[in-house]
Chain A
């Protein structure tokens, strides 16, 4: 008990408060300037925007993947099931260089799009790809247990009352999945917003163009602008807390629905 609290304070609480204190060493206008200057704003826009798009992509493909894994039989199913967790196990730097190589204009996938004039790696599109990779397991793994517990008799009842398959999915299955689906998307988003390792290799890192917020922190650190780095960290931490709050709210809502 005492050990737990001591370690938690030493490793999590005190260092975290250092960020807030460092950021508060500036005057308020200085803080605003460091937190919301043009370059920082573009970085947030990219980090949050790309994370949002990636979370939506994972929402769509995650529900299809989970559905296929629970309901269908297909070859190599257990292999596919295992590889879903790859983004949890694979170091982000490895994912970063692999995706950058694959989606570069001369890479296996990048070369397919290059003739059409579409560049994926070294553009915001590449950031979306990396964040999709990193968030992929969240939606699938939060949906799976709920889908497994989905009672077949409800679907049968809907079908026997004359609903076609489309209606059953739209009105019976999807509403039941709603809270878990949202939780998965929110978890994928929360993870993607702060992601660094897999993104920096594929992003291109051009100021005002393809620079993510965590990268801006490292750049300011390299310039010994500790207050500036801490300021952006405070903004990102605020978003992390907000996401934790949102996820808890979704889960509380899901529990109320379940009762």
Chain B
């Protein structure tokens, strides 16, 4: 005798149909692309792939990507802490406007993000002539790449921290301060422990985006090999030159980064199990 189906359970045929559809969809859109990257990278053998990520241009691209992330992530951590602190702990007018501004980079096209810095700092931009006179290069140079990356990764840390800090309220900090703790001490002993997992989560996503940003960086970089080429831009150049093994080898490196990010993210969600809204 088969067990009777619980009334809130789907019939077996429905389960099979749904799981098949979902499986097919995920295989076509997510899993096969991932396999393609590693397959194409090793098409001419592992040594060729390894060579492609060790030559001079690739090394320069990897270095620039690491530098960009090393500046962007700490900057956004500091900003995220300041912004979420201001929004969660103080009352002031225009607060919704401030939150919208922080969210804005999520909904602005990356190309527009790059364009705005070209218009401000480019040769024909607002500060262009002044920068030229003082021999400072921002557009088509590293500072522009960092600025554009900061813009697109702006919301990640702040967005994670705002709800956490709002939830926590101000009672514990007021208690600490009233017992004589300094501002910094209060932050380290009271605020920081409550937000550390959220902060790590934000840093993780911010870092992944900072290392992988393409559109915004592509507009401001000028694509100068060995100088202003980040890893994603290097992938593009190699691909457009039909050096597919090279392009996919660098892409595979970025894939590994994405996989590490996803694993760490899953671990963080285990440590701090709470439902996360589906943003970013």
Q: Which residues of A contact B (CB under 8 A)?
A: 1, 3-5, 7-8, 11-16, 18-19, 22, 61, 64-65, 67-68, 71-72, 74, 78, 80-95, 97-99, 101-102, 107-109, 129, 132-133, 136-145, 148, 152, 155-156, 159-160, 165, 168, 184, 187, 190-191, 193-197, 201, 213-215, 217-218, 221, 224, 226, 229-230, 233, 236-237, 240, 243-244
Contacts and interface: CB of A to CB of B under 8 A. Distances in A.
Nearest to B147: A11
A197 B215 contact: yes
9 contacts: A1-B86, A4-B79, A12-B101, A19-B116, A64-B21, A65-B22, A71-B10, A194-B112, A214-B215
Contacts of A78: 266
Contacts of B150: 11
A65 B20 CA distance: 10
**Interface-centre pick from B98, B154, B280 (highest chain A CB count, 10 A):** B280
Contacts, number: 268
Nearest to B204: A89
B101 A13 contact: yes
Contacts of A193: 109
Interface stretch (B45-53, B176-184, B186-194, B257-265): B257-265
Interface of B: 7-8, 10-11, 14-15, 18-19, 21-22, 25-26, 28-34, 36-37, 40, 79, 82-83, 86-87, 90, 92, 98, 100-112, 115-120, 122, 124-126, 147, 150-151, 154, 205, 208, 211-215, 218-219, 231-233, 235-236, 239, 244, 247-248, 251, 254-255, 257-259, 261-263, 265-266, 275-280
A65 to B, nearest CB: 5
Nearest to B17: A64
Given A92-B214, A194-B107, A217-B112, A145 B258 contact: no
Contacts of A83: 26, 30-31, 34, 262
Contacts of B125: 18
B30 A64 contact: no
B212 A90 contact: yes
